[in-house]
Structure 1
Amino acid sequence: MRRTAPLLVLCLTAAGLGGCTESDTTPPAVPAGITAQAGSATSVHVMWQAPDPADAVTNYQVFQAGRLVRELPADRTMVDVTGLAPQTAYAFTVRARDAAGNTSAPSASVAATTPAARAEDHRAPTAPARTTGRADGPRAVTLSWAAATDDNGVTAYDVYQGGIRIHTVGPADTGTTVTGLQPDTAYTFTVRARDGADNSSPDGPAVDVTTPPSAGQGPDTAPSEFTATASPGSVTLTWTAPNTGRPTGEYELHVNGRPVTVIQFGAGAVPASGRAEHRLTVTEPAGTVWTLKLRARLPDGNWGAFSAERRIVLGA
């Protein structure tokens, strides 16, 4: 928890003005858990832990050898620092800043060395194989995968969730723990290998992991066993309804991260924990890529947790 900020009291004594205003002068906590990993011959991936909400962080400043190189909003806790030189050691620190303009002390310094550049390397690594995952409590997941290969050597592995890169580890790592997740939520992870020329492999096999509910949170609310199958002119969705104790007849479908429609079933059409199916008519051109996920309307009127996300190519 952030300490209560000492208050600087400014009393206004100009004509017609009275009273005092209060100003926050306590800086945010120093960013913790900072790491740096060379992603290619010219880039380094820097990450750190999300702040405590009580710190009211509004942005971060990333420094390389004391020089400001990136500024990021508070919801970004990683960045690729690019334009670097091959075979060079770099050191990075991060500072947090709040709405009052207070800036934290620098984080611990972390170092990374970029690998040698490879001329005319256009061949991507092989995809990491045999991805597995398990929940480590309601807010963390541990992933592992088989090592990829590359003609010039793998330099990093990137972890993606819902098509967004969320984590990067070094070439010797074939596993990692992803933290900061939500309880009672289905996640779909894939892993890509990257080489020194920034060529990325195809996705390795996707793995679905559902975090357990936290204490007092109640039963799982996410639709399970979600599938999406594309055919010319249509997409067929199937899933198992969450067991909320009542029939679940309303679902919100998200495509490419945005809500697009609410699927409604008639009374009694879907049992409390039965299998459901819905077919969409699509007019988008063949080859369009969609990512889909859905969530159920709960008996209390709120939306539940999302299903795992599925990626399809229309017309396939």
Structure 2
Amino acid sequence: MAALVSLAVLSSAGCGSNGEGTKAPSAPDGVSVQAGSATSVHVMWSQAPGKAGIRGYTVYRGGTKVKDVPAATNMADITGLEPSTAYTFTVRARNAEGALSADSDEKRVTTPAAVAEDRDAPAAPAGLRGGSDGARAVRLSWSAPPGDQGITSYDIYQGGSRIHSVGGDATTARIGRLRPGTRYRFTITARDAADNVSPAGGAVEITTPHGSGDDPDTAPGDFRATTHAADGAYYADLSWLPPKAGTDAPEYQIYLDGAFATTLIWGGEAPRGRATYSVYTTREPGRSYRVKIRAKLPDGNWGRFSTERTLVTGGGKP
């Protein structure tokens, strides 16, 4: 098989505006802001359910827009701030028509004072432990490092992805947006006002219990695969319906003949309904390929594979 591009980033055109007749989504709730260092804060909020039609969120500092994030994200790091300064943040949701919600509740935070040049990271948090809190959440607790470590926040990781932050005086956290019947691995690091980050403490693994009828099918649906020829090459034409994971899936992996071929990331909003994509396969006619895809879910894990389809490149010259 000829080599394939390892990453594809696509844009999906949005439509509509805040014009008359467009119903705006509800404002995000559960907004919180935590200072991460003397010059950064971490903004978090509760993700709207998939049925709300949310396509993204916008974070504002005062009345100034500072960051846009996709619908699958419910947190944002805001950097370049001033030490010992009070800030206010709000979050607005955006739907597929481009309509923005009202502002969320306003949250205030004050960055800690700047410190003298400091390159010494705090010690790692110890004793991380936890358990499930229903089918879609876990509760974690840990012990702060001994002595005055100058910790301003703790960062919580699920696998290799940072998913949550809490203040330096906290030793517990609740992590939601998980899937029933799934095993998760968590670690935690400490951060000081100079943005030095400790090594990760010991990991804890937790399996959420199966919920009652609320474990969705995470495989892309109605997966189809055909082929076409263009510019001296053959392409696999793929189409599918997003998995029923509670929100959009902005990232997919494509496998050919059982091996990873490429990653597809929607550069803008993920398509509504059926998605389509063409991937290069070969310049040779009569080649048979087995193809399947899977989506990255809101909890950071990869969902189940779609049904595997077989296609054969056409005869003759492309």
Tell me if the contact between 2:123 and 2:149 (Cα under 8 Å) persists in the aligned partners: no
Residue 45 (structure 2) aligns with: 48
Tell me if the contact between 1:124 and 1:150 (Cα under 8 Å) persists in the aligned partners: no
Instruction: Kindly report the root-mean-square deviation, in angstroms, between the aligned alpha carbons of the 2 structures.
Output: 2.9
Distance 1:294 1:66 in 2: 37
Tell me if the contact between 1:64 and 1:90 (Cα under 8 Å) persists in the aligned partners: yes
Q: Give the residue type in structure 2 aligned to 1:31.
A: P
Q: CA deviation at 1:132?
A: 0.2
Residue 187 (structure 2) aligns with: 190
Cα deviations by residue, 1:202-224 (Å, 9 ceiling, x for unpaired): 01110000000011579xxxxxx
Look up the SS of the partner of 1:92 in the other structure: strand
Aligned partner of 1:159 among 138, 156, 160:
156
Q: Give the residue type in structure 2 aligned to 1:130.
A: G
Distance 1:115 1:213 in 2: 42
Residue 31 (structure 1) aligns with: 28
Aligned partner of 1:139 among 136, 141, 162:
136
Aligned partner of 2:60 among 52, 59, 63:
63
Cα deviations by residue, 1:210-260 (Å, 9 ceiling, x for unpaired): 000011579xxxxxxxxxxxxxxxxxxxxxxxxxxxxxxxxxxxxxx9799
Residue 205 (structure 2) aligns with: 208
Structure 2's unaligned 5+ residue stretches are: 1-19, 216-251, 260-300, 309-318
Answer with 1 or 2: which has the greater Rg. Answer: 1
Look up the SS of the partner of 2:105 in the other structure: coil
Tell me if the contact between 1:64 and 1:93 (Cα under 8 Å) persists in the aligned partners: yes
Cα deviations by residue, 1:249-284 (Å, 9 ceiling, x for unpaired): xxxxxxxx9799979xxxxxxxxxxxxxxxxxxxxx
Q: Give the residue type in structure 2 aligned to 1:41.
A: A
Q: CA deviation at 1:148?
A: 2.4
Q: CA deviation at 1:200?
A: 0.7
- How is 1:82-231 mapped onto 2 (pairs within 5 angstroms)? 82-149=79-146, 153-216=150-213
Structure 2 length-normalised TM: 0.61
How many pairs were matched up? 212
Structure 1 length-normalised TM: 0.62
Q: Give the residue type in structure 1 aligned to 2:130.
A: G
Distance 1:149 1:67 in 2: 40
Distance 1:33 1:65 in 2: 18
Q: 1:58 to 1:217 in 2, by over 3 A?
A: closer
Distance 2:169 2:197 in 1: 16
Q: Give the residue type in structure 2 aligned to 1:176.
A: A
Q: Give the residue type in structure 1 aligned to 2:182.
A: T
Distance 1:194 1:120 in 2: 15
Q: CA deviation at 1:71?
A: 1.1
